[in-house]
Structure 1
Amino acid sequence: MPATELLAVIERDGFVESEHRGVAVLVDPDGRVLEAHGPVDRPFLARSALKPLFASALLDAGLIELEPAHAALASASHWADDEHVTTAQAMAAAHGVDEDALRCPPMKAPDGTQRRFAHMCVGKHIAMAASARAMGAPEEYWADDHPIEAVLRSSLAEATGEPMSGFAHDGCGALVFPTTPVGLARAFRRLAPDGTGGHRAVGDAMRAHPTLIDGAGRPDAVVIAATGCATKFGAEGTQAIVAPDGTTAVVKSADGARRPGAPVALALLERAGAIPAGTLESLAEPLGLIQKSADEPVGRLSVVV
């Protein structure tokens, strides 16, 4: 990120404690750029913010059918609550996927055991494993040269409107593709209620199951439940949010922090009239924007773009 803008600051008793720089873009329902902060046409890795688009790709390719809760889990980065592990077990059973066949590493489950079903990316992996079997290539669905790579790449290129060159390896063992912030926004816009095909199905699933996407009380779940937006964070500071009318914001923080993503995106959407005025302020407490001394508020995170 060779050039960035100041997106948000954290203040405590008049002292600026932290600054978050990065890039941000807002597109209207037709994909036209309404606001651009920083170089929004440079490729970056959106990491887990791509999960809903991957799930959409598998649905539209006819490789898998997903009930809403399972489509939500395929789009999720969860925290291994009972709801998440139970849903993962049911999803795997429905698609005949064995836990040991998954690439995502074991993580701590609520009962203290190490389970692949407890990994935050397990829904994506179950969907990919089942789709790979449907393609007649069940082995190593995560490999660079697996045919599922071409399905995901082609769908993402079509949705972003950008050529898709290169890839990287995500933390969970699967592939991740570069997009630009504006391309990601145009793709994410397809998850709005007026979307079509797999994108519409996945967006509806996210809106119907906010706690499966993140976890009760966590930022994505809070935003979805309060606003009717579909939203997804990605590692290293990505946040994508599509409002019910299709207006979409994407934020990438240069320092990799998650903290500024949702508030900056919500501020942009609010300014465009895509969500009600006062939305960000009403979510300041549940999103952790208020800085406190014991229980007394003494500062906050403020959006500056």
Structure 2
Amino acid sequence: MFDLLLGTVHRGWVAESHHRGRVCVVGPEGTLLALGDMAAPVLPRSALKPFQVVAMLRNGLDLTEELLALAGASHTGQDIHLAGALEILSRSGLTVDDFRHTPDLPQDPEALRAWHLAGRGKEPLAHNCSGKHAAMLRTCQLAGWPSEGCLDPAHPLQQQIRATVEEYCGVVGEPVVDGCTAPAFATTLPGLAAGFGRIAAESDGPGRLVADAFRQHPEYTSGIGHAVVRLTTQVPGAIAKIGAEGVLAVGLPDGTGVAVKMSDGMGRGRFEVVDAVLASLGHPVDSAEPECEVCPEVLAMLEELGTRHGPREP
């Protein structure tokens, strides 16, 4: 099955760009909406971070709520993110020299400008995954595992993470190398949506701790002014996480999960599609000026979804 046309970008009256993709909505009772190929493997990339943090909590990770959010972040390199990653390291007596992942630059434009003015180049601290990697090092220390080789799929930490991802989402095939050099696990879009619905509905345990951290501190999981913050603050109880190559997943406290994968790997269109899905489920979001218009055919299917599955009590 081919991916569907989800959105169009217009310049004046001209349809200038078209964005295809897949959309899945899963509730506690099963799949509610499936647009596109649901059997194809998907790399959620950083959208798996909530489950990675659950695995770390199960093995002793001891962070404040803000730092838990940062451990699951794709941050933009703002001051709160860099300071938080350094704080996680310092708790274990570590420094940035102990990082084992790839270097990068801050993604936030103002943070990047300040970084360049300070004469700094690519560094592991500025990588959007540095909070996760600091938390991985902390977890290894607390669990008594060697930090050496902690990004190897055979390391106990990565084995625990794989088992947790399998529990929540299901795992397809062997791991590949993510952009930060950590293992990346594939799943399916229904698996990703179901995992987000489950973690958002948990009432206790590590899953609830992670969900609460994502709800209360979205500026740590993304960045001040990020679309994730807008969505999370406007939809009560929601958690949201982006992933590279056009992935976005949302969990609602009633157990509903939404997952989108844009075929072209671009971020453009994914928030507009998810906003439309949430509106159909009774959770309207006041968006910034949209870059992409959701296709009328998709909106019609979402209207029908809303008729069948309106707002539900968590």
TM-score higher than 0.5 here? yes
Counterparts of residues 115-194 of structure 1 (less than 5 Å) = 115-133=123-141, 134-160=143-169, 162-192=170-200, 194=202
Cα distance between partner residues in 1 of 2:295 and 2:74: 25
Counterparts of residues 47-66 of structure 1 (less than 5 Å) = 47-60=45-58, 62-66=59-63
**1:283 corresponds to 2:287:** yes
**CA contact 2:162–2:185 (8 Å) conserved in 1:** yes
Cα distance between partner residues in 2 of 1:157 and 1:235: 20
**CA contact 1:73–1:123 (8 Å) conserved in 2:** yes
Instruction: Say which SS state the counterpart of residue 22 (structure 2) adopts.
Output: strand
Aligned to 2:257: 248
Cα distance between partner residues in 1 of 2:125 and 2:270: 27
Tell me by how many angstroms 1:219 deviates: 1.6
Q: Give the stretch that moved more between structures: 32-41 or 105-114.
A: 105-114
**CA contact 1:242–1:248 (8 Å) conserved in 2:** yes
**CA contact 2:88–2:138 (8 Å) conserved in 1:** no
Instruction: Say which SS state the counterpart of residue 173 (structure 2) adopts.
Output: coil
Cα distance between partner residues in 2 of 1:265 and 1:4: 16
Cα distance between partner residues in 2 of 1:26 and 1:150: 28
Cα distance between partner residues in 1 of 2:29 and 2:278: 14
Q: How many residues align?
A: 284
Query: What does the per-residue CA deviation read over 1:7-52, in whole Å, with 9 as the maximum and x for residues that have no partner?
Result: 1111222211111101110011x15110000112221111011111
**1:35 corresponds to 2:33:** yes
Tell me by how many angstroms 1:135 deviates: 3.5
Q: TM-score, normalised by structure 2?
A: 0.84
Cα distance between partner residues in 2 of 1:190 and 1:126: 26
1:77 to 69, 74, 82: 74
Letter of the 2:90 counterpart: A
1:104 to 101, 109, 131: 101
1:301 to 289, 293, 297: 293
Tell me by how many angstroms 1:164 deviates: 4.5
Instruction: Say which SS state the counterpart of residue 33 (structure 1) adopts.
Output: strand
Letter of the 2:146 counterpart: A
Aligned to 2:239: 230
Cα distance between partner residues in 2 of 1:51 and 1:97: 22
Q: Which runs of 5+ in 1 are unaligned?
A: 291-299
**CA contact 1:10–1:19 (8 Å) conserved in 2:** yes
**Distance verdict in 2 for CA 1:135–1:260, change over 3 Å:** farther
Letter of the 2:294 counterpart: S
Q: Give the stretch that moved more between structures: 101-110 or 34-43.
A: 101-110
**Distance verdict in 2 for CA 1:27–1:201, change over 3 Å:** same
Letter of the 1:16 counterpart: A
Tell me by how many angstroms 1:185 deviates: 0.9
1:95 to 92, 95, 100: 92
Letter of the 1:33 counterpart: T
Cα distance between partner residues in 2 of 1:240 and 1:33: 15
Q: TM-score, normalised by structure 1?
A: 0.87
**CA contact 2:241–2:248 (8 Å) conserved in 1:** yes
Instruction: Say which SS state the counterpart of residue 104 (structure 1) adopts.
Output: coil
Aligned to 2:301: none
Q: CA RMSD in A?
A: 1.9
Tell me by how many angstroms 1:253 deviates: 0.5
Letter of the 1:125 counterpart: H
Cα distance between partner residues in 2 of 1:16 and 1:243: 33
Tell me by how many angstroms 1:303 deviates: 4.4
**CA contact 1:96–1:130 (8 Å) conserved in 2:** no
Q: Which runs of 5+ in 2 are unaligned?
A: 107-113, 299-314
Query: What does the per-residue CA deviation read over 1:221-247, in whole Å, with 9 as the maximum and x for residues that have no partner?
Result: 221122232111111010001123332
Query: What does the per-residue CA deviation read over 1:95-145, in whole Å, with 9 as the maximum and x for residues that have no partner?
Result: 333311112233346443344222110011111112223242221211232
Give the 4+ runs in structure 1 shifted more than 4 A: none
Tell me by how many angstroms 1:163 deviates: 4.7
Letter of the 1:51 counterpart: K
**1:12 corresponds to 2:7:** no
Tell me by how many angstroms 1:155 deviates: 0.9
